[in-house]
Each structure stands twice: as C-alpha cells, then as structure tokens.
Amino acid sequence: MIATRSSRRLHRWLVGILAMVLASLLAPAGTAHAAGDVPIPPNTGLTDKGAGDVSAADKDFVIKVRLAGLWEIPAGNMAQEKSDDPTVVKVGKAIAAQHVVLDKLDRDAAKKLGIELPNQPNGDQQGWLAEMRNATTSAQFDEIFVARLRAAHGKIFPAIATIRASTRNDSVRKLAQEANQFVLTHITLLESSGIVDYAALPSAPAPAPTATQKGPVPVDHNMIAAASSGGSGPGVNTSVILLVLAAALVAGVVTTMRIFRSR
C-alpha cells in the first residue's frame, strides 16, 4: 500500500516537472528578457589606424567636434558659477568634463589624419556664450544655457549619423561612434533639467516623395516574401532542436517511471 502511494506521488512529481520543462522549452524565444531592454553597442570591430579615404565631410565633422568642445566646455563651467539650480549645475559640470574627454579623442584623430583644427569658437558660438555671460538672473541663464546647448546637440546628431554610416576612414568612424554616445548623453542631461521647451524645437523636414515608394520607410520585398513563406531560418532550426529535446525528456521520464514501478 505504502509502495503504491509512493509510486503515485513520484508519478505526479515527474509529470509536474515534465510539464514545466516542456513549457520552458517550447516558450517563444526572448521571453526571458524584459521587453524594454535597451542594447548598448559594443566597441568590437572599431579600429583606429587612420586607414581609409578621408572625405571633405569627414574633415568637416572632425572640425565640428572640436568647435563643440570649444564653446560647451566654457558654457558648462559658466553654469557652475551662474546657476542657482542644482540640476543645471550638475548638468553643466558633467557636460564640461565629458567634452574635455571628447576633445582629446577628436584632437588625437585630427593629428593622425593631418586635419588642422580651430582654437576658437565660431561666431555663433561666441554669441551664445555672450548671451550666457550677459544673463542677469539665474533663471535667465538657465533658460539660455539649456536652450542653446539642446539646439546645438540636436543639429549635430544627424551629422554624426551621416558620417557614422558613410565614412571610409576607420578613425573617423570610431570618433563618430564615440561622439554619438556623448551627444545622446548630453541631450538627456539637458532634458533632465525640465527646462527644455519641446514645442519650440525645430520641426523635422517632411520626407521627400519618390516615384516607387509610397511611404517614408523603405520596404525590402524579398525579406517580406521570405518571412511570409515561412522559409528555413534560425527560428525553424531552433524549433526542431526544442522538439527533439522535449521528445528525449519524455522518453527519459517514461523510462524512470517504469523502473520505479518494477521496484
């Protein structure tokens, strides 16, 4: 009697374990990760040997990165002196310190590629710094500081994307990758102040219509056809492997149950 009850308990236990394992094996791939996970790009594959042609756009980009540091470093330092808002002070300190690092990376790349860099901000940048110096109150300074830096970072963003996607020089490519991380961080820091007037930001230009494409997003018809036909791919191979593992698990459980029943 006791042996029968033990056998039944073992049977239920094995069936429960089997059900849980099968559920985990056959669950859709990726469910173990949160849907909101944001990938962080690795630095693998990025070399810095100065290899590859340097275009006029590449040179202009390297110069613009230098110009950004020439006015944003003093702007960040000014924020620590003129602002009474602790958040703006922290933002200014972080941006100034990070631009010192980015400026070093930029000067190293320029030296390697023989690109001559400026040593003074351009006219527009000097005007923005003058606005900040002439601010008479902390609140006025904060508005000018956040507005000017947020607008400047918004303009450099697409330029970085263009260079990152098109440059043939490995050092420029690496610099663009690094600059993109800095700029995105600075935009986020500036927005953390709560002062950004999003309604005043310039609107993005409307996508140019084309004769063959009805929408702004290009469509790869071959990819759509392959996905619709359910052709072979990593998903199919994974499903086969999971089914084989599940079958092996079932066979193992059945064998174990038979052994215990015979005992």
pLDDT digits (tens, 9 = 90+) for 34-83: 456 888 778 778 999 999 999 999 999 999 999 999 999 999 999 999 99
Query: What is the per-residue pLDDT for 23?
Result: 53
Query: What is the per-residue pLDDT for 29?
Result: 46
56-195 classified as CATH 1.20.1260.10: yes
**Rounded distance between C-alpha atoms, residue 92 and residue 149, angstroms:** 10
Is residue 109 predicted with pLDDT exceeding 80?
yes
Q: Return the domain boundaries, the chain.
A: 1-28+238-263, 56-195
**Rounded distance between C-alpha atoms, residue 7 and residue 1, angstroms:** 10
pLDDT in tens, 177-186: 999 999 999 9
pLDDT tier at 208, thresholds 50, 70, 90:
confident
pTM: 0.67
pLDDT tier at 229, thresholds 50, 70, 90:
low
Across 121-150, average pLDDT: 97
DSSP per-residue codes, 64-121: HHHHHHHHHHHHHHHHHHH---HHHHHHHHHHHHHHHHHHHHHHHHHHHHT----SS-
pLDDT tier at 32, thresholds 50, 70, 90:
very low
pLDDT in tens, 9-24: 655 655 555 555 555 5
Query: What is the per-residue pLDDT for 87?
Result: 97
Query: What is the per-residue pLDDT for 43?
Result: 73
Helix%, strand%, coil% for the chain, nearest 5: 70, 0, 30
Across 134-148, average pLDDT: 97
